[in-house]
């Protein structure tokens, strides 16, 4: 991909921040959308939930990447916070999609965040991008989130949805909370440990997104997860082995539900998601197995 002007929403988050660093390192001009008054030349003002983005900041861009949204971890899901999770994604995506559709020269590609939460609980059934959405709060959010990009699609912008799994990283996501527990010797399987976790290294997450930006002709949903999901029990064993810590204790499901509230469904639920379309497009994972992904994060 030749040097391009690329707009990034959610640049302060785990995925957006890693994308910005990677793109800048390769000489691309990166424009970051910010909710406050811009303080640097590479910042452009937007108000995702208010429906405003400065159109001058989008002019001439080759790609727009949207990974903005309120975090799903780290706090209890009250009704008010669930509304914030939804609005920050759906309204933000709609704001960008409508602005891109109105540009005299829209960008070549719009890459929008999504999540494997789209599929809901899948048990031990393997699901790829052809599977229908599940039921419940997260699947409903993901369906609305992806649907909000329709104005850009109708305007002819190649639109890609990145359905991300559990990102293995120290600086954010689920693993940010797992690493300290395991290092302290307090890690263990969650519930009965049979639930599947579909994970991806942060390195491969960024590489996959960049692959999808560059590959003309690719559109629609792509699962960004390692090729072989593992059970929580298997991942617990990997964590213990890599960190050299015992993993003898199980965290009972009722305790998790008390501590995590509704988010416990993500931890106790099972999602056996595979990246069928990503592999078919020729993408090669640098860290395809859990041990490699954990070691890369460390």
Residue boundaries of the structural domains of the chain: 5-297
From the candidate CATH numbers 3.40.50.720, 3.40.50.300, 3.30.230.10, 3.40.50.970, the one assigned to the domain spanning 5-297: 3.40.50.720
Alpha helices in 109-263 (DSSP H): 137-147, 150-154, 173-183, 202-214, 232-243, 253-260
What are the pLDDT digits (tens) for 99-154? Answer: 999 999 999 999 999 999 999 999 999 999 999 999 999 999 999 999 999 999 99
pLDDT given for residue 49 in this prediction: 85
**CA–CA–CA angle 69, 71, 77 (5° rounding):** 115
Cα four-point dihedral sign 21, 43, 65, 90? positive
- Checking if the pLDDT of 253 tops 90, the result is no
What are the pLDDT digits (tens) for 192-251? Answer: 889 999 999 999 999 999 999 999 999 999 999 999 999 999 999 999 999 998 887 777
Distances (CA, A) of 294 to 136, 166, 171, 246: 30, 12, 13, 16
Alpha-carbon span 92 to 114, nearest angstrom? 12
- Angle between helix 14-25 and 202-214 (nearest 10): 60
- Angle between helix 290-297 and 173-183 (nearest 10): 80
Virtual torsion, Cα 263, 266, 267, 268, nearest 10 deg: 110
DSSP assignment letter at 251: B
Residues 214 and 156 sit within 8 Å (Cβ to Cβ): no
Cα-Cα end-to-end distance for the chain: 29
Tokens 């359905």 belong to which residue?
A: 163
pLDDT given for residue 72 in this prediction: 82
Q: Which two tokens stand for residue 102?
A: 């109105």
Helix (H) or strand (E) holding 221: strand 220-224
Its pTM stands at: 0.94
- Nearest in space to 234 (alpha carbons), one of 155, 289, 298: 289
């Amino acid at each position: 991909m030749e040097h391009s002007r690329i707009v990034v929403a959610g640049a302060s988050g785990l995925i957006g921040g890693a994308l910005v660093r990677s793109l800048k390192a390769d000489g691309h001009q990166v424009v970051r959308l910010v909710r406050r008054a811009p303080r640097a030349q590479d910042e452009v003002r937007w108000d995702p939930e208010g429906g405003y983005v400065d159109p001058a900041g989008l002019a001439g861009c080759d790609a727009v990447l949207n990974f903005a949204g309120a975090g799903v971890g780290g706090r209890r899901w009250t009704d008010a916070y669930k509304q914030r999770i939804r609005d920050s994604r759906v309204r933000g995506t709609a704001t960008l999609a409508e602005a891109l559709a109105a540009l005299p020269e829209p960008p070549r590609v719009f890459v929008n965040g999504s999540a494997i939460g789209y599929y809901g609980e899948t048990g031990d059934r393997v699901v790829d991008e052809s599977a229908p959405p599940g039921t419940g709060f997260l699947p409903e959010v993901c369906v609305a989130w992806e649907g909000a990009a329709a104005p850009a699609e109708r305007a002819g912008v190649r639109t890609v949805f990145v359905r991300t799994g559990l990102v293995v990283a120290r600086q954010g996501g689920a693993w940010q909370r797992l690493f300290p527990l395991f290092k302290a010797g307090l890690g263990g399987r969650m519930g009965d440990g049979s639930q599947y976790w579909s994970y991806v290294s942060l390195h491969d997450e960024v590489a996959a997104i960049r692959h999808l930006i560059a590959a003309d002709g690719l559109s629609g949903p792509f699962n960004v997860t390692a090729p072989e999901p593992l059970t929580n029990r298997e991942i617990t064993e990997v964590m213990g082995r890599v960190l050299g810590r015992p993993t003898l204790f199980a965290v009972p499901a009722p305790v998790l539900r008390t501590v995590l509230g509704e988010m416990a469904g993500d931890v106790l639920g099972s999602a056996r998601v595979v990246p069928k379309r990503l592999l078919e497009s020729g993408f090669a994972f640098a860290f395809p197995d859990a041990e490699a992904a954990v070691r890369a994060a460390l």
